[in-house]
Amino acid sequence: MIAAATPAHVDLVVAAAEAGKAVFCEKPMALTIAEADLAITAAETAGVPLQVGFNRRFAPDFVAAHDAVAGGTIGTPHQLRSITRDPGLANPAGVPPWTIFLLTLIHDFDLLLWMNPGTRPVEVHAVADALVAPEFKDAGLLDTAVVVITFDNGAIATAEASFSAAYGYDVRGEVFGSAGMVTAGGGARSSMVHATSSGRHVETVRGDVELFLDAYTAEFIELADAVREKRAPAVRGEDARRALVIALACIESVKRGAPVSTSEMEPG
C-alpha cells in the first residue's frame, strides 16, 4: 500500500514488485512516462497485480453511471464532463507547480477515459490560472483549470478543477450521448432537507473521506479480490499511464497557449 509522497511512488512500486508483493499505489503513480513504464514493467516482470488509487471508479454513483454507459443507455458518448472542486487550499505555499493537473485532474482524466471506453484521447487544450490564491501565481501555483480533450471517436470532454469550493467537496461527472445522458455526483451529505423562512436547504459534503468512504473501502476490496482470484485488478498501472499522458499534455498546452497532441507526450 503505497501512500507516500508522490516522488517516492515509483521506487516503492518497483521495490514492492521485486519483493513479490501485490501493489496498491496512490495516484499519481508517476510523474513521467518513463517512470510510469518502469513501474508497469516491474509489476509485469514480477507477475504481481499493480492497482492505482483512482477511487472514483469504486464510488457507487460513478459505478452506476459507468454501468449505464457501458450498458448502452446513452448510446455513443458525444460530450463528457468531469469536475473536481476541493473544499479549500490549506497551504498554498506547499503546493508544487502543476499539481492541479498531475494530482487533482488526474482523477478526472481517468474517469473520462473510463467513461468513454475503447477510445483514445487525441488532443488536449488546457487553460489555467491562479484565481483562488493569485498571490501564489508567481510561485507556479495554478488553482483553477479547464481542460478540453478530443477523442478519436469525436467525443469532446471537459475537465474542470478548482482548489477552493466554498460549499464543500464537489465531484461530478456527466456523459451525454446519442441516446441520452448520465450524471453522477452532487455532494448532498444525506437525503435530509430542511426548509425554513429562508428556503429549502441541503447540507453538503465537506471532505474526501466523507464523500468517498465507500469507494476507498471498495478499492481495497478489489485488490484483495484480485490477489485471491489471481487476476489483474480493475484499475492498473496502464490506466495511470493513460491519465498521465493527458496531464502532461495539459502542462504543455498551458505553456504553449495552444492545443497539444497526446502523441507528442509519448517518448520518442
**Residue from the set 28, 49, 121, 185 that interacts with its own copies by CB under 8 A:** 185
92 contacts its own copies (rule: CB under 8 A):
no
Instruction: Name the residue nearer to its own copies (CB basis): 22 or 113.
Output: 113
Per-residue cell: 82: 468531469
# residues near its own copies by CB under 8 A: 69
Cα–Cα distances in Å, from 61 out to 92, 116, 151, 228? Answer: 31, 17, 24, 26
117 binds its own copies (CB under 8 A): no
Q: Using the rule CB under 8 A, which residue among 5, 47, 138, 196 binds its own copies?
A: 196
Rounded CA separation 228/221 (Å): 10
Closest CA to 91 of 52, 143, 41: 143
Which residue in 95, 176, 219, 240 binds its own copies (CB under 8 A)?
Answer: 176
Please pick, from the candidates 193, 209, 221, 224, the single residue that binds its own copies as defined by CB under 8 A. Answer: 193
Q: Does 118 bind its own copies (CB under 8 A)?
A: no
> Is the peptide bond preceding residue 7 cis, with omega within 30 degrees of 0?
no
Q: Are strands 156-162 and 77-85 parallel, antiparallel or unpaired?
A: parallel
CA atoms of 243 and 182, how far apart (whole Å): 22
- Per CB under 8 A, the list member of 5, 166, 228, 230 interacting with its own copies is 166
Site string for its own copies, 64-83 (x = CB under 8 A): xx--x----xxxx-xx----
What lies within 8 Å, CB to CB, of 5 at 6+ separation is: none
End-to-end CA, the chain: 32
User: Do residues 237 and 29 touch, judged by C-beta distance below 8 A?
Assistant: yes
191 lies in the binding site for its own copies (CB under 8 A): yes
- Closest contact distance (angstroms) between CB of 129 and its own copies is 5
* Contact region with its own copies (CB under 8 A), list: 16-24, 98-106, 194-202, 227-235: 194-202
How many whole angstroms separate alpha carbon 39 and alpha carbon 87?
32
Cβ(35)–Cβ(10) below 8 Å: yes
- Which of 181, 227, 232, 234 is close enough to bind its own copies by CB under 8 A? 181
Of the two residues 51 and 204, which places its CB atom closer to its own copies in the complex? Answer: 204
Q: Which residues bind its own copies (CB under 8 A)?
A: 60-62, 64-65, 68, 73-76, 78-79, 85, 123, 125, 127, 129-132, 134, 144-146, 148, 150, 154-156, 158, 160, 162, 164-168, 170, 176, 178-204, 257-259
